[in-house]
Amino acid sequence: MGIKSISTAFHVSRNTVRKYVRRYQESGLTLEQLTAMSEEKLQKMFLDDCNRSHKPTPRREALEALVPDYVKRLSRKGEKKYLPQAFRTCQGIMSLEGKYGLARLVAACACASEGRLYGYNEVKEILERGDDVDFMPSVTKQSLMPCLTESSTSRTV
């Protein structure tokens, strides 16, 4: 199977396929040795990037801290039953940070958790209505009140 067909079959770039093929060739292992390796050793061989020295931003860490709780709650009986759906919901919720900011998103998630609302649309509605303000520190609330008042009056017109 060629690089292009592998890339197409697994929906990854050809450069990524080349990188993994190169790592396999440089290892000098046979296919039998490779298939006998533990999952941990395979991850170290193929997934560890020694060249990466970046540290996740505080914004990313704060948002990623919310994901396990949402996945756990979305996996409960009566909630979304499929982990990929729960993951996409979390991704959608995290994308709201670009429009509303980290502080408001975290406050909206706290508001949603209190109301046992775990969907993207529910969190978005909380942000649009400004219900998240009650869950923010008082300094942030005061700075956001004029913006929230203007946006709520423009919607009613």
Q: Which residue has the tokens 């409960």?
A: 76
How far is residue 131 from each of residues 66, 128, 136, 145, measured CA to CA in Å? 19, 8, 10, 11
pLDDT in tens, 70-106: 777 766 666 555 666 777 888 888 888 888 888 888 8
**What pTM does this model have?**
0.41
Estimate to the nearest angstrom the gap between the alpha carbon of 133 and the chain centroid: 23
pLDDT tens per residue, range 30-79: 888 888 888 888 878 777 655 455 677 887 788 778 777 777 776 666 65
Domain borders along the chain are: 3-46, 58-156
